[in-house]
Chain A
Amino acid sequence: MTSLSVFVYTKNTDLHVLSAKHAIIHSLGVTSLELLKRYTFWKLTFDQPNEEEAKKAIEKMMASSFYLLNPNKQAYLWSLNSQYFHVMVKRASGHADTLCTLFQKRGYSSLTKIETATVWEIGFSGTQEELCEKVLASTSSSKGLLLNPLFETYSFF
């Protein structure tokens, strides 16, 4: 069993990030926010032990379909810079399972599971608790933005 994670990002300016950063700094007044980036996270699990083979399969999936990324405007990384906070925001949805079935039907028979989430990379001069309270979970019009705790969950990694 091999699991690989891929972080897909927008090559040009990410407009979600632009608006989110502006709102956090100017509307919520959180000036300690230094950096904000957004990635679409994919975790693909294969029932083969060879990591190189799994990597090749993912690269082929990305090159031959637009499901994991659009190569015209997006690129990907296998890992993220560890000097920042990384928050994974998940929504309960059957989308990834549907995608897994679709890839299996397209010949990727060793693929067993796909998981997806949004990952925010945050440069923040403060504690994790302050970040959670001021920037993450939206609880009112004056606090939090990046996720709605009523239908999204988050974890640091």
Chain B
Amino acid sequence: MGKIGVIQFPGSNCEYETIRAIEAVGGQADLLRWNVSETVFHQYEGYVVPGGFSYQDRVRSGAIAAKLPIISYLIAADLLHKPILGICNGCQILAESGLSPNTAQQHQIEMALTPNEKDHLPVGFLCQWVFVKIVHPEKSVFTPFFKPNDVLPIVMSHAEGRFVLKPGISSDELTCVSYCNEQGEDMVSQNGSFIAGLCNSKGNVMAIMPHPERVVFSHQLPFNLSLKWAHAKEQGAGQKGPWEALFKAMVAAAA
């Protein structure tokens, strides 16, 4: 089984729960520091760039981390088709480094995560439960265990999560997770975006703003979210949660 490296930058804060999520589905994961050697880095078969506030979000979220040497190793891993998952700040880092969506295959910056805004007014940091649905599950190595239009609860926790794509790039083919209501009807989220996660055209890189690693177990769900998920929570601690399938798929892809 291939090991997954979870990259820790100064200011990351979701790395340990990400490792726990991977281990919960039978995978093996190690913490990789941002200044790890290239030789050690390439011993892994998949990578997660976890959430947090790398470099205190200085200049822009993810901007400083995206210039580090480790990003060139990550680009080399992408060229080898290894699975790469960026969550929240990791999503911002993948955007700033040109790893996602990378439609031109040149690792140029093609998308930005801009400050949360609705009706042209800033809405600040948002931390709340939302519903998202899986779009085109067959296109990404992270989503084959989901069904099309599966509606799942997830935690959103960011201040800069509004996707802006380079002019000329259509989100239709790249979106793999989009915001919706509990019934699965498309909607623009409180952050002003309808996109929650994007994949690259090869399907091996996924950048998602909400936190799947926080919903791997059913006990992580709140009772008041909805009747269906409250019932899942009642089954007790350690039971499968809605996003277990994503990490399971990643572990399989890294094998």
Q: Which residues of A contact B (CB under 8 A)?
A: 15-16, 18-20, 23, 27-28, 91-95, 98, 138-142, 145-146, 148-151
Contact = CB atoms under 8 A, between A and B. Distances in A.
B122 A151 contact: no
Q: Which of B59, B72, B97, B120 has the most CB of A within 10 A?
A: B59
A100 to B, nearest CB: 13
A16 B60 CA distance: 9
A140 B108 contact: yes
Contacts of A16: 58-59
Contacts, number: 80
Interface residues of B, number: 34
Interface string B18-59: 000000000000000000000000000000000000011011
The 3 closest A-B pairs by CB, nearest first: A27-B67, A150-B112, A94-B120
B98 interface: yes
B107 interface: yes
12 contacts: A18-B58, A19-B64, A23-B64, A93-B120, A94-B122, A139-B108, A139-B109, A141-B75, A145-B63, A150-B112, A151-B112, A151-B164
Q: Which of A91, A92, A139, A150 has the most CB of B within 10 A?
A: A150
Given A94-B121, A150-B112, A150-B166, A138 B96 contact: yes
Contacts of A138: 63, 66, 96, 109
Interface in B101-134: 106-112, 114-115, 117, 119-122
Nearest to B60: A148
Nearest to A20: B59
Nearest to A98: B121
Nearest to B108: A140
A148 B109 contact: yes
A79 B117 CA distance: 31
Interface in B137-171: 164-166
